[in-house]
Structures are given as C-alpha cells and as structure tokens.
C-alpha cells in the first residue's frame, strides 16, 4: 500500500469476498491483498477503513442516515421528490419501489450512486480517504 494503493483495489477485494462462501478462501485472499499491496508499516491505514468501529484514533462523524441522505441528494443535484431521493430518505421502508435492500442504508445509497455515477474509480488512495475521514471526524460544522 505504501500510501499509493487505490481505494478501488480494497473495494474490489470486498466485492470478491462478499461473493465467496468459504472463510478460508476469504482469509487467503485478504492475506494476498496485504502481502501484495501493503507494507507492514501501512497495515493500519487499511485496517482503520476495514474495521472503523475499532479505530480509537478517529472520532465519530456525527452523521446519521438522514443527514447522509440529504448530503447525497444535494451533492448529486437530485430533486427531493425524485424516485432515488425518496428511496434515500425512506431507506428503512420496504415496498414495491424500494428494492431488496430496504432497511440497509449503505446498500440503498450504493444502488443510487451506481446508477448515477457508474463504476469508474475516482482514483482516491486509501491514505487520501483516511485523511478525508479524519478531517470529517474533526470538523465542528459537519
């Protein structure tokens, strides 16, 4: 990882691991990721993204799903009554237009983002993402 590993590499690893059933295969793939992309001194950067609840150096973001939904709607320039905006605002509710991921904000947001932004990587590195998350956690006006 030496500071330059793209976050998209980690996302690809997660996507692959999500599809795999075997814990042994998942561990092997994760070990290969660490051996291939990370130096031992860089493990912390990846681990704090993988296990954010165990990261004691970074505070909470102070953002709930409703605030994140509003931020996404505004950032993507969506009308507040568009189908995607309504899905984000009402992510907990099931129904005919909510999809299989109702109740899971992260998955609902992912579906909305993928439809609107495609699958191209923005080129953000793991260290850059950690820096942005540190700034978010330390910001007073979230």
- The CA distances from residue 105 to 18, 47, 61, 139, in Å, are 17, 22, 16, 23
Q: Rounded to a whole number, what is the distance in angstroms from the first to the last CA of the chain?
A: 29
Structure tokens at 135: 């700034």
| pLDDT band for position 10 (cuts 50, 70, 90) | confident
Structure tokens at 90: 């009402």
Q: What is the mean pLDDT of residues 22-29?
A: 91
Does the structure show a pLDDT above 60 at 1?
no
């Amino acid at each position: 990882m030496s500071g330059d590993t793209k976050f998209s590499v980690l996302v690809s690893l997660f996507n692959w691991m999500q599809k795999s059933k075997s814990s042994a295969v998942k561990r092997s793939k994760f070990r290969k990721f660490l051996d291939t992309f990370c130096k031992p001194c860089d493990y912390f950067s990846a681990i704090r993204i993988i296990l954010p609840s165990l990261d004691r150096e970074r505070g909470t973001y102070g953002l709930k799903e409703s605030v994140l939904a509003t931020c996404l709607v505004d950032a993507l320039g969506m009308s507040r009554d568009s189908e995607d905006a309504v899905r984000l605002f009402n992510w907990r509710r099931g129904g005919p237009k909510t999809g299989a991921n109702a109740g899971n904000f992260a998955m609902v947001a992912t579906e909305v983002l993928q439809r609107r932004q495609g699958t191209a990587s923005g080129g953000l590195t793991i260290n850059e993402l950690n820096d942005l998350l540190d700034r978010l956690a330390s910001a007073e006006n979230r």
